Chain A
Amino acid sequence: MSILGSLDWNDIFIVPFFTEPSLSTGIAAGAGGVVVLGALAVMVLLTVKGWWKPLWSNWITTLDHKKIGVIYIVLALIMLIRGVLEAVVMRAQQVSPAPGFLSVEHHAELFSTHGTIMIFFVAMPFLTGVINVVMPLQIGARDMEFPFMNAVSLWLSIGGAALVMASLVVGHFETGGWTAYPPYTGIKLSPNEGVDYWIWSLGLTSVGSTLSGINFLVTIYKQRAPGMKLFDMSIFAWATLCTAILMIFAMMPLTVASLMLALDRQAGFHFFTATQGGNMMNFANMFWLFGHPEVYILILPAFGVFSEVIPTFSGKKIYGYTSLVWATIAIAVLSFTVWVHHFFTMGQTANLNAIFGIATMTIGVPTGVKVFNWMLTMWRGKLRFSTAMLFSTGFIFTFVIGGITGVMLANPTIDFATHNSLFLVAHFHNMLIPGLLFGMFAAVNFWFPLCFGFRLDEKWGRRSFWLWMIGFYGAFMPLYAIGLMGAPRRMAFFTEPAYFPWLVIAMLGALCVLAGLIAQVIQIWVSVKNRESLMVPAGDPWDGRGIEWSLGCPVPEYDFTTIPAMTSREPWVDAKEAGKRIMDPTEFVDIHLPKPTGMPFLVGLVATLFAFAMIFQMWLIAAVGFVAMWVLVLIRSYDTDWEETITAEELREGYEAHKRLVETTPQIRLDDEFTTKNRGLIMETQV
């Protein structure tokens, strides 16, 4: 066998276009070309601008939780562009005259990569990034508990995403949807490397997520500011804690199921091959033992974001803190009890279906509690509709509709009629677009100044919100309708003329969503260009409530000059109400921060090489990659000089400088919040 395994010339993206020229292979070649040219363009830009070195020393080697968070979010946004573009191509395919311009396989690859990317390489890095930036700042920590492991998680996730991008250039992705059920994904029906791309890209990112979960949980348990009890934490930190627990327990079933599938495919094992005593139902069970908690991994952090944004822009403290926390915990626990509702029709008894149906409906109760919490927080508040607040309120309306269709689907008798239809597709997009993306967009608009020191442009932010909101309704309400009319999901084309008008509306909706995404790119562009006038160096640009707003913007590398004393649930609000504009320092002491290191990047690089070699059955290279990965870890274990010290004196100087800045920043009215007068430190109580 060749050292390059199953790789051959036909796997290179451009070749199929010459051997079988068609619009479909042309689009595939074009997409591969965009990836290659994009990578080249980035490299040229970095070289011309001389940015390689700063990129390496400031970003790639960083162990700072804020920068790691930013890299995660950038990864999510890049992958989001691909995911949305794929959606638009699929919508265009379904409105063009049958059989459309894509081959059936090409369309199948598109919905498989679209789902895989959106869940694992948009949603997961997005929420992991936001947690990385915000959670330590909200609990008064200086970093994650395990900064090195945090960076390893990051580079494993990027490696997974890089493999999915590589599948555009080398070989194919799978065609069995993001769930990749065998027997279809077995070696007989899917002989090419597509399923292996799915297995190994998820393998990398799911290990990364497990490690992230451990990191978040230990950080919250061990690094809270002195005096901060669990029930003093922000709701976002609570959401993170519950998410972390779900990550720790729920990622493993995915890892196990996908490795079993790999053994079936490459080693002739029989976990899921029915003819030899395997049981493919076990795959569905394990996949959804992961998959259902995963839904709440995706949604709980967004719930946490809304619970921070809504009180801030309502000028009120969150309504019913304790009930909101218990609702979060209840959702996390219940999320492990409902996985069978993903396969009501696979032949188990009616009683079993009934039990899981009831458990599923039960989740609606704590979720409903949360919706009332948010609404009652806004009740009689002084609402300010910033971009973050628009996304939050837009979420509440839209999410409730998705929740109602979810309760419909939870009823097995209804599910028998609607499963695998576009009704289901409409339902889960209705949960995840408001319940995840809107939350993350709100988070970016809300917390952006903490990382970069300036606000994002409000005008383009609001435009992006309306485009996303209208686009969402346009793209998915029609799918509810044709789903009920009987349209199955994952079809390359329809011949039923009654669907056509609905599909055209959905197509226009998808274009509107694309416009929303473009508006967001413009928003970032405009904000960076006008950053001088958007600067909020004194911090707290929106009369915020959490202790993260007691810091200057951007937040210094060490986060806090002194760890705040937690005397209540909202010490920053207390301080402001007492007329203070900076929190009283506690004791200045020397602190230790982790030194930057390129090791996590190398671990990720070698792990990606290993995974790529596994995909194309290059066993020798895979073995070398695997050993090299552990050798790197071993080398790191000899490195005991991993911290650098920041002296108490430097921290005192940092504090004094921030104090001077705060004292010289003129105080302005809340009404001027979105104007260039806002240099930070808005207070409602005094002018």
Chain B
Amino acid sequence: MSNTGAAHAASHDHGHHDKTGTVIFGFWIFLMSDLIAFSLMIANYADAEWHGIANGPSPHELFSLGLPTIETMALLISTFTFGICTLGMKYGASMKRTVGWLVLTLALGAIFLGIELYEFHEFWTEGNTPQVSGFLTAYYSLVGLHGLHVTSGIIWGILLMVQMKTFGMNDLIKSRLVRLGLFWHMLDIVWIALFTKVYLMGVL
């Protein structure tokens, strides 16, 4: 045991440990906690779409696949563009190019959000508000929670671009961009679950 200890000690830098890696690890852990919130909301939705219709519409009556498919495509493409953004950063792309891909990503996120809000607005004006039934409460809350996450991701991205201008592409900014990337990709994965559960299975 003392051998491995010494080997470990030799490879370990006392004063400066790898702060970037640690912060990203911590952020992974936070995302796991956040996923618990989504899982609970999905479980609640799965219950409400069967037992919570009350006097309101059923998922089958409410949803169509047209707009949700378009918004899904926007979000899926945005995760691809974010991937290019971070890969470019890793291989030393210029700041202009990194910012360009980030802007494209956030714009796709904004399109996703716009379509979602448009759909909320449509349902709302038809009288299908969250106050109508347990199902509609669950629908607005689940999809809305995801939408709030996307909104905060967009705000975060914009603020990060301002900081890129202030600080340049230093390690701190790179680390923040990687964390925003993790957040963004997680939202994509969560959306795939939501699209399947809420829209695909709802329409079927």
Contacts and interface: CB of A to CB of B under 8 A. Distances in A.
A269 interface: yes
A568 B16 CA distance: 24
A277 B29 contact: no
Interface in B1-46: 1-2, 4-6, 8-9, 12, 14-17, 22-23, 25-26, 29-30, 32-34, 36-37, 40-41, 44
A637 B163 contact: yes
A636 to B, nearest CB: 12
Contacts of B128: none
A84 interface: no
B29 A226 contact: no
B1 to A, nearest CB: 7
Given A260-B141, A271-B44, A566-B5, A248 B131 contact: no
Contacts of B47: 279, 282
Nearest to A248: B33
Nearest to B170: A640
B48 interface: yes
Contacts of B22: 145, 218, 222
- Where chain B touches its partner, the secondary structure class is helix
B166 interface: yes
B52 A249 contact: no
Given A248-B32, A263-B141, A270-B131, A276 B54 contact: yes
Interface string A245-268: 000110111011100100100011
A606 to B, nearest CB: 18
Nearest to A210: B33
A97 interface: no
A270 B33 contact: no
Contacts of B132: 276
Contacts of A586: 9, 14
A278 B137 contact: yes
Nearest to A286: B40
Contact of A567 (B5, B55, B130, B133): B5
Kindly state the interface size class of chain A when it binds its partner: 35 or more
Interface stretch (A129-137, A433-441, A522-530, A589-597): A589-597
Nearest to B160: A637
Interface in A220-239: 221-223, 226-229
B141 A277 contact: no
A645 to B, nearest CB: 9
A223 B33 CA distance: 22
B9 A277 contact: no
Nearest to B176: A637
A279 B48 contact: yes
A628 to B, nearest CB: 15
Kindly state the interface size class of chain B when it binds its partner: 35 or more
Contacts of B6: 227
Nearest to A146: B26
Contacts of B186: none
Interface string B102-136: 00000000000000000000000000001111111
Interface string B138-181: 10010000000000000000010001001100001000100000
Contacts of A587: 14
Contacts of B5: 226-228, 565-567
A227 B52 contact: no
Given A270-B52, A566-B5, A218 B26 contact: yes
Interface string B56-69: 10000000000000
Contact of B137 (A221, A257, A271, A568): A271
B53 interface: yes
A638 interface: yes
Given A267-B130, A276-B133, A276-B134, A249 B33 contact: yes
A282 B44 contact: yes
A164 interface: no
A327 to B, nearest CB: 23
A459 B53 CA distance: 66
Nearest to B26: A218
A145 B135 contact: no
A255 B38 CA distance: 12
A563 B17 CA distance: 13
A260 B9 CA distance: 49
A215 B22 CA distance: 11
Nearest to A272: B134
Contacts of B17: 222-223
A432 to B, nearest CB: 25
A355 B29 CA distance: 31
B96 interface: no
Contacts of B25: 218, 221-222
Contact of B172 (A252, A273, A566, A640): A640
B51 interface: yes
Given A270-B131, A270-B136, 7 more contacts: A226-B14, A227-B4, A276-B134, A277-B48, A277-B52, A282-B44, A586-B9
17 contacts: A217-B29, A227-B4, A229-B1, A249-B32, A252-B34, A252-B40, A253-B40, A257-B40, A270-B54, A270-B134, A276-B52, A276-B55, A278-B52, A278-B137, A279-B48, A586-B9, A640-B172
Nearest first, the 8 closest Cβ-Cβ pairs linking A and B are A227-B5, A277-B134, A277-B54, A277-B52, A226-B9, A252-B36, A268-B131, A278-B134
